[in-house]
Structure 1
Amino acid sequence: MGLDYYSVLKVNRSATEDDLKKSYRRLAMKWHPDKNPGDNKAEAEAKFKKISEAYEESDGDVKNMMVDAYPFHFLPYDLFLTCSFLNRQLGTESEILTIDIKPGWKKGTKITFPDKGNEQPNQLAADLVFVIDEKPHDEYTREGNDLLIYQKIDLVDALAGTTVNLKTLDGRDLVIKLTDVVTPGYELAIAKEGMPIVKENGRRGNLRIRFDVDFPKRLSSEQRQNIRKVLGGGGQPQQ
């Protein structure tokens, strides 16, 4: 009488191919010898072998999908946010996998396609995992849900006020009126102009403008006197 793989794999006789696969994965992870070192290794090796034999016998159509190693491996791929789909080529089979990029996804976000990775004889197919990376922008830097941009202005604009014109990431023209006196390192936060916040529909981070003041390298005596008159500073200008 052959091996009762239903009993070994702990499934009932009406189990589907997917049920067999899931049960095999679970038991293989539990009893793989690498997870059972020391005194338990011999027992684990015996049970792992029996589980593998049962799974191989369970269905000729799935015998080439067995896993022979732990942990079940992943195939990491870098994915820049500018990508909308990637091709997968395995042997003679080609498949297009579509990834729907969600607004606000951060670096490190993983998109998993179960059983779409490497396939080898006597192994279950690995999962295919794409990892989001962020392509650097020429002007904007992401900090959490905020966007940061550096803006240099002249000293006269820093003191007297000015208008800052920015092009947003989605192509809009943003006009910001600057009325405060700006010192080097001054930061202005514009609400709801940052990155979309995932799972919080409609909410966005801030756009933070960090200013650098471009000071003149030299001033004439007349310019110095005029500045003192305007600003009301006391004392005599240095020659």
Structure 2
Amino acid sequence: MGKDYYRVLGIQSGSNEEEIKKAYKKMALKFHPDKNKDPSAEDKFKEIAEAYDVLSDPKKRTIYDQYGLKAGGGSSSGGQGNSYHYTFHGDPHATFASFFGGSSPFDIFFGATRTRGTTNGFDHGDQDMDIDMDGEDDPFNAFGRFGFNGINGFHHGAGRRHPTESVHSRRKVQDPTVIHELRVSLEEIYHGCTKRMKITRRRLNPDGRTMRTEDKILNIVIKRGWKEGTKITFPKEGDETPDKIPADIAFIIKDKSHPHFKRDGSNVVYTAKISLKEALCGCTVNIPTLDNRVIPLPCTEIVKPGTVKRLRGEGLPFPKSPTQRGDLIVEFQIRFPERIAPQTREILKQHLPLC
């Protein structure tokens, strides 16, 4: 008869499919080498997987129940002497991963914190979790709710798959892009600049399971004339975990408020404040520029409300053609006097036109 697989799983020979699965789950979690540090746990873990591999397969179980299986032979075969041989595939971890739908259910529940005790980048010291597999509070009962209680990881009637399929076919998913606003002055857009941003992120250690926190400087090159809303993306510079691809980090350009100018595409707008006298009698207004020059702007005609003057080529560089620039648009704000003397009012009545 060879090994008594029913005894290995601690069940009766007449146990049904559900009882076999339940027994395997309990025993495999109890003797998993990541959980059980006893030197003999590894061999016991393999023996449990071998027993489950035979008893969970109806054909193998039928042969085992009728004739027994001799370990160490070739593929199962039969003959006149009723001599059947069976070779376990030899990877109990693959059986375990196929049953639970992952390389380790401990990682599903506790992630990297099981070995290092880190949560959200804060180190809480080394710790481990003691779990009572026999009690009703067994947290791994949750696998039933998540669909991990079927044969080889499937629900009843869903078919079979290769024991190692779930390990090799699972693909990591990438977290959503992490977006930050980057405030930039109009002078920096005018000249172009490089911003240095320090980020703190989590990275996997060489063991592929525990994590560390590290700082990194990202150099963000702001090109001349870039528009507000331009996005600069740094691929996969976010947090890294055993189950996730690091997120991209993106910076969205936003204009800083300016004491003199506001942006209108590649144009900049400047508001010149003049008196009523200057608006009526003429004046010269000194207009500042983004490169710290001053341009005299003669106003020889009457400046009416809503008058706009344009200084060609004195705005921001065009993003796709930085050698060319937009315009500096001058809008006027006319300051009216708070009061005027009676005699001045009479003079104005006499000399100002009615229309």
Q: Same-fold call, TM > 0.5?
A: yes
Query: Is 2:246 aligned against 1:143?
Result: no
Deviation at 1:229, TM superposition (A): 5.4
The root-mean-square deviation of aligned C-alpha atoms, in Å, is: 3.0
Paired position in structure 2 for 1:86: 197
Counterpart of 2:314 in 1: which secondary structure? coil
Match for residue 232 of structure 2 among 96, 111, 114: 111
Q: Is the 8 A contact 2:240 2:246 kept in 1?
A: yes
Match of 1:130 among 247, 251, 254: 251
Q: Who wins on radius of gyration, i.e. which is larger?
A: 2
Using CA pairs under 8 Å that are at least 6 residues apart, name the structure with larger relative contact order, 1 or 2. 1
Decide whether the 8 Å contact of 1:183 with 1:212 is kept in 2.
Answer: no
For 1:223, what is the secondary structure of its paired residue? Answer: helix
Q: Secondary structure at the match of 2:168?
A: helix
Partner of 1:212: 333
How far did residue 223 of structure 1 move? 2.0
Q: Report the CA distance shift for 1:174/1:55 in structure 2 as closer, same or farther (over 3 A).
A: farther
Are residues 55 and 164 of structure 1, via their aligned partners in 2, closer, same or farther at CA, if it must alter by over 3 Å? farther
Cα distance change, pair 51–100 in 1 and its aligned pair in 2 (3 A): farther
Query: Once superposed, which parts of structure 1, at least 4 consecutive aligned residues long, lie more than 6 Å away?
Result: none
1:61-210 → structure 2 map (5 Å cutoff): 67-68=172-173, 72-82=175-185, 84-91=195-202, 92-210=213-331
* Counterparts of 2:214 and 2:311, CA distance in 1: 50
**Distance of aligned partners of 1:228 and 1:90 in 2 relative to their CA distance in 1, 3 Å threshold:** same
Q: Quick check: 1:103–1:198 contact (8 Å CA) kept in 2?
A: yes
Q: Secondary structure of 2:257's match?
A: coil
Write out per-residue CA displacement over residues 215-239 of structure 1, whole angstroms, 9 at most, x where no aligned residue: 22333343234435555x47xxxxx
Partner SS, residue 100 of structure 1: strand
Q: 1:86 to 1:226 in 2, by over 3 A?
A: same
Distance 1:52 1:135, change over 3 A: farther
How many residue pairs match? The answer is 179
> What are the Cα deviations for residues 22-60 of structure 1, in whole angstroms up to 9, with x where unaligned?
xxxxxxxxxxxxxxxxxxxxxxxx9xxx9973366xxxx
User: Are 1:224 and 2:345 an aligned pair?
Assistant: yes
C-alpha change, 1:148 and 1:224, in structure 2 (3 Å) is: same
The one-letter code of the counterpart of 2:262 is: T
CA contact (8 A) 1:162 1:177 kept: yes
TM-aligned CA deviation for residue 188 of structure 1? 1.1
Letter in 2 for 1:81: V
Secondary structure, in 3 states, of the residue corresponding to 2:323?
coil
In 2 relative to 1, CA 52–101 (structure 1 residues): closer, same or farther, beyond 3 Å? farther
TM-score by length of 2: 0.45
Q: Deviations over 1:183-212 (max 9, x none)?
A: 122111111111211011321111111112
Note if contact 1:186-1:212 (Cα within 8 Å) is conserved in structure 2: no
Conserved? CA contact 1:115–1:127, under 8 Å: yes
Gaps of 5+ in 1: 4-45, 57-65, 235-239
Percent identity of equivalent pairs: 34
